[in-house]
Amino acid sequence: MNWLYGTWAVFEKDLRLELRSRYAVSMLLLFVLSSLLLVAFGLGPVTVSPRVQSALLWVVILFSAAVGLGRAFISEEERGTVLLLRLNTRGSMVYAGKLLFNFLLVLGVNLVALGAFILLLRVAVQAPGLLLATLVLGALGLAGATTLLAALIARAANRGPLLPVLLFPLLVPLLLSVVSATRAALPGGNGWREAGDELTTLFGFAGVVITVSVLLFDHVWNE
């Protein structure tokens, strides 16, 4: 099978299943919105500094991703469709298809989270383009790191809270860069000039994580 065609087929299958049940989307959105509301209520009418604002935004996004993205492979195990998928496609197609789906999912949720965050925490954005670039690169790194680990925990017995435990230590470099880049886009930041290094780091992180995932994925996928 053509590699691109196989990747697209896996992606399309996941998208259709998602549109049918809307399980992952509604779970992620509700998680993000309720935790942002909690943050907003916790802070009350206090306006916090841009540094704190960007840290809060990304912690909420990271937690929601860790809760929601683990489903990608667990649902295959639960429905018993792993064997069929393994027979009909190569490992790299499955990985790429799932990565694409997870990336779009995280990106969509990030955009909604950003909107809610701007409204609830009274954030003024200075460089919208930079913020958007940060969001896209951050989502790419996040999805890249999560997809392989999701396949990994689908093989474990007690999988409930396992994903956050495995994921968060690996995301520290991502979190540090993404928070700095977001802060540069908020008032008081220097915009693109300040965030150049951070964006390069994010790009490199996503690249390394996805490359290593492709190399390791077959060991997780094939028994």
Partner 1 sequence: MKETQAGVDVKRYRLVRNVVAVWLTGMIVAAFVRDIPRLSILEHTARNLYFHVPMWFTMMAAAFVSAYHSLQVLRTGDLLRDIRALQAARVGFAFGLLGLATGIVWARFTWYVGTSIWWNFDPRQTMAAVQLLIYGAYFVLRTAIDEPHRRARMAAVYNLFAASTVPFLLYIVPRQMPSLHPGAEGNPAFSETDLAPAMRPIFYAAVLGFLGLFWVLYTQRVRLARLKHRLQGDPEY
Indicate which single residue of 180, 182, 189, 199 sits in contact with partner 1 (rule: CB under 8 A).
180
110 binds partner 1 (CB under 8 A): no
Which residue number, 133 or 148, has a Cβ lying nearer to partner 1? 148
Contact between 83 and partner 1 by CB under 8 A: the answer reads no
Q: Tell me: does residue 197 bind partner 1 (CB under 8 A).
A: yes
Where are the alpha helices (H) located in the chain, listed in sequence order? 3-21, 23-43, 50-68, 71-79, 82-88, 91-120, 128-153, 162-185, 192-221
Least gap, CB of 36 to partner 1 (angstroms): 25
For partner 1, the closer of residues 123 and 140 by Cβ is 140
Residue 38 binding partner 1, by CB under 8 A? no
8 A C-beta contact, residue 142 and residue 206: no
Instruction: Give ∠ CA 126-121-168 in degrees, rounded to 5.
Output: 90
As a whole number of angstroms, the distance between CA 78 and CA 59 comes to 29
CA-derived radius of gyration, the chain: 18
d(CA 52, CA 71) in angstroms, rounded, equals 30
For the segment 137-176, give every residue that binds partner 1 (CB under 8 A).
145, 148-149, 152-153, 155-159, 162, 165-166, 168-170, 172-173, 176
Point out which residues bind partner 1 (CB under 8 A): 145, 148-149, 152-153, 155-159, 162, 165-166, 168-170, 172-173, 176-177, 180, 197-198, 201, 204-205, 208-209, 212-213, 216, 219-220, 223
